[in-house]
């Protein structure tokens, strides 16, 4: 199998796990650590399972951010042994020279991603699992980051360091204590928000206080990003910090985001590793499955002008009807059509009968409609706009979503007659 075909198959398999559950009739998205991380939309996510050759990127940048293993001082090792980690999970372990001295940077090993994915970011998150072998030898040793932009690693035996070289001079940096035993796996995450200047470091989902930091909002520094270096993103060795030593120990499940993740999101990732399954973040009513209750809660949030990130289903930074569309139609969510009032995975005349029989079409009662009574555009009303949304989606009489043909039909005369008949029926009942 060629490398390109293998990479495509890897990405397809990851994306198909959730879809397969839905198509088999299960509306609960059972997810492990990887699924929890991927749900938050990393631009780069490298499992480091391959051991050699291409390090496949499962993030949104796709093969643009594939990495390549390099160097001889590395080996394949078992990753964290936790319920939420994938069976057979493997990690990359960077080794020491035979004299137990740290590897010099010219002989470094790791993974290099040629695309400078951390260039020109106003917010970021880096996360992964580390298992230091000899912390006292990991002095100024990069974990993962991009030289002369956003850098992250050990600056002393037990000190984690963040450093960013800002555009046209200047820098921000922070130090925190990493007080954990060697040869133990721990989840770490670094988040930065240039708008507020907030910078947080987490170990196993818990915030670790900075010993020293000069982080402030980028605007106060008259900067518009955390740096632009044009250099590769590196995992392990590769001149992060311009160091003369490389990190010695294990690295696994490395992720990079072009946005700031909240404490709750970081904790959810860690808990997914511990527990093995997590509910879908769109299970807003906590029922354990995606259902009409979640649609109605999301619609109310959209209509009410909510801006909390938990309602941002499609992760585009806004809360609007596009999030409703994603919740209903995405294959990893409800996987059906706009207009499927009874959520049986298809949109047909039966759904029109259901919503018109409820008698709420343009009834003049503010905010009284739900998904099951015709509100398909998140304004809490049932009107012509909902019908436009449903027929524009193109699912009418296409059968169940899983077996649908990818065409967008014009509304048939039967459809128009059905709607007309139902409207007449409603007017007669009113009169």
Whether 282 maps to a domain, the answer reads no
64: CATH: 2.60.120.200
CB–CB of 70/79 below 8 Å?
no
pLDDT-derived band at 413 (thresholds 50, 70, 90) equals very low
Segment 333-389, tens digit of pLDDT: 999 999 999 999 999 999 999 999 999 999 999 999 999 999 999 999 999 999 999
- Locate 4 and state its tokens: 């390109």
Q: Calculate what percentage of the chain has a pLDDT beyond 90.
A: 60
Last residue of a domain, one of 216, 247, 275: 275
CB–CB of 129/135 below 8 Å?
no
Residues 169 and 298 occupy one common structural domain: no
Last residue of a domain, one of 275, 300, 334: 275
Show the DSSP H helices in 276-344 as ranges: 292-303, 321-329
d(CA 29, CA 97) in angstroms, rounded, equals 45
Helix (H) or strand (E) holding 295: helix 292-303
- Dihedral of the CA atoms 8, 12, 14, 20 (nearest 10)? -170
Residues 149 and 255 occupy one common structural domain: yes
- Locate 307 and state its tokens: 């801006």
How much is the mean pLDDT over the chain? 83
Nearest to 126 by CA among 238, 239, 280, 269: 269
Whether 137 maps to a domain, the answer reads yes
Residues 257 and 122 occupy one common structural domain: yes
CB–CB of 188/160 below 8 Å?
yes
pLDDT-derived band at 63 (thresholds 50, 70, 90) equals very high
This prediction's pTM = 0.61
DSSP 18: H
The percent helix, strand, coil of the chain (3-state, each to 5) is: 30, 25, 50
Determine the pLDDT at residue 331.
85
Is 80 exceeded by the pLDDT of residue 246?
Answer: no
Is 80 exceeded by the pLDDT of residue 137?
Answer: no
Whether 90 maps to a domain, the answer reads yes
Distance of CA 44 to the CA centre of its chain: 10
Whether 251 maps to a domain, the answer reads yes
Determine the pLDDT at residue 280.
76
Range of the domain at 416: 292-430
d(CA 200, CA 213) in angstroms, rounded, equals 11
Nearest to 366 by CA among 358, 355, 375: 375
Residues 233 and 332 occupy one common structural domain: no
pLDDT-derived band at 56 (thresholds 50, 70, 90) equals very high
Determine the pLDDT at residue 251.
96
Whether 23 maps to a domain, the answer reads no
Residues 221 and 296 occupy one common structural domain: no
For tokens 């409207």, what's the residue? 423
Is 50 exceeded by the pLDDT of residue 409?
Answer: no
Residues 137 and 267 occupy one common structural domain: yes
For tokens 């990991």, what's the residue? 138
Last residue of a domain, one of 275, 301, 328: 275
Range of lowest pLDDT (95-104, 140-149, 241-250, 285-294):
95-104
Residues 231 and 83 occupy one common structural domain: yes
Residues 124 and 235 occupy one common structural domain: yes
Distances (CA, A) of 327 to 214, 313, 371: 41, 7, 12
- Locate 102 and state its tokens: 């740290």
Determine the pLDDT at residue 262.
95
d(CA 398, CA 387) in angstroms, rounded, equals 16
**What is the count of structural domains for the chain?**
2
Is 90 exceeded by the pLDDT of residue 214?
Answer: no
């Amino acid at each position: 199998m060629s490398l390109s075909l293998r990479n495509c198959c890897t990405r397809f398999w990851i994306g198909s796990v959730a879809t397969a559950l839905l198509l088999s009739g299960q509306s609960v998205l059972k997810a492990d650590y990887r699924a929890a991380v991927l749900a938050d939309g990393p631009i780069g996510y490298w499992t480091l399972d391959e051991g050699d050759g291409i390090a496949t990127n499962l993030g949104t940048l796709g093969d643009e951010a594939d990495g390549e293993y390099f160097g001889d001082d590395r080996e394949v090792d078992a990753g964290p042994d936790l319920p939420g980690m994938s069976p057979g999970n493997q990690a990359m372990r960077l080794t020491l020279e035979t004299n137990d001295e740290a590897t010099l940077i010219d002989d470094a090993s790791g993974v290099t991603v040629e695309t400078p994915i951390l260039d020109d970011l106003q917010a970021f998150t880096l996360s992964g699992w580390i298992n230091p072998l000899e912390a006292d030898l990991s002095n100024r040793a990069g974990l993962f980051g991009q030289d002369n932009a956003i850098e992250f690693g050990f600056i002393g035996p037990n000190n984690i360091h963040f450093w960013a070289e800002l555009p046209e001079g200047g820098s921000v940096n922070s130090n925190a204590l990493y007080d954990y035993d060697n040869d133990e796996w721990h989840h770490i995450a670094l988040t930065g928000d240039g708008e507020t200047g907030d910078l947080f470091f987490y170990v196993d989902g818990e915030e670790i206080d900075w010993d020293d930091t000069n982080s402030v909002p980028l605007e106060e520094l008259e900067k518009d990003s955390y740096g632009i270096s044009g250099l590769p993103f590196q995992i392990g060795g590769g001149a992060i910090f311009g160091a003369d030593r490389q990190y010695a120990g294990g690295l696994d499940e490395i992720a990079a985001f072009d946005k700031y993740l909240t404490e709750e999101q970081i904790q959810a990732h860690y808990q997914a590793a511990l527990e093995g399954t997590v509910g879908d973040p769109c299970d807003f009513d906590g029922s354990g499955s995606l259902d009409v209750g979640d649609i109605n809660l999301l619609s109310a949030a959209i209509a009410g002008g909510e801006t909390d990130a938990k309602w941002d289903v499609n992760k585009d930074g806004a809360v609007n009807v596009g999030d409703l569309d994603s919740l209903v139609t995405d294959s990893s969510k409800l996987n059906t059509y706009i207009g499927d009032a009874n959520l049986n995975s298809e949109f047909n005349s039966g759904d029109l009968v259901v919503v018109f029989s409820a008698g709420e079409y343009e009834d003049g009662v503010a905010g009284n409609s739900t998904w099951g009574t015709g509100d398909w555009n998140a304004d809490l009303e049932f009107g012509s706009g909902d019908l436009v949304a449903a027929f524009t989606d193109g699912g009418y009489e296409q059968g169940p979503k899983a077996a649908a043909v990818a065409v967008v039909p014009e509304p048939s005369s039967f459809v128009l007659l059905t709607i007309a008949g139902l409207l007449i029926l409603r007017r007669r009942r009113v009169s």
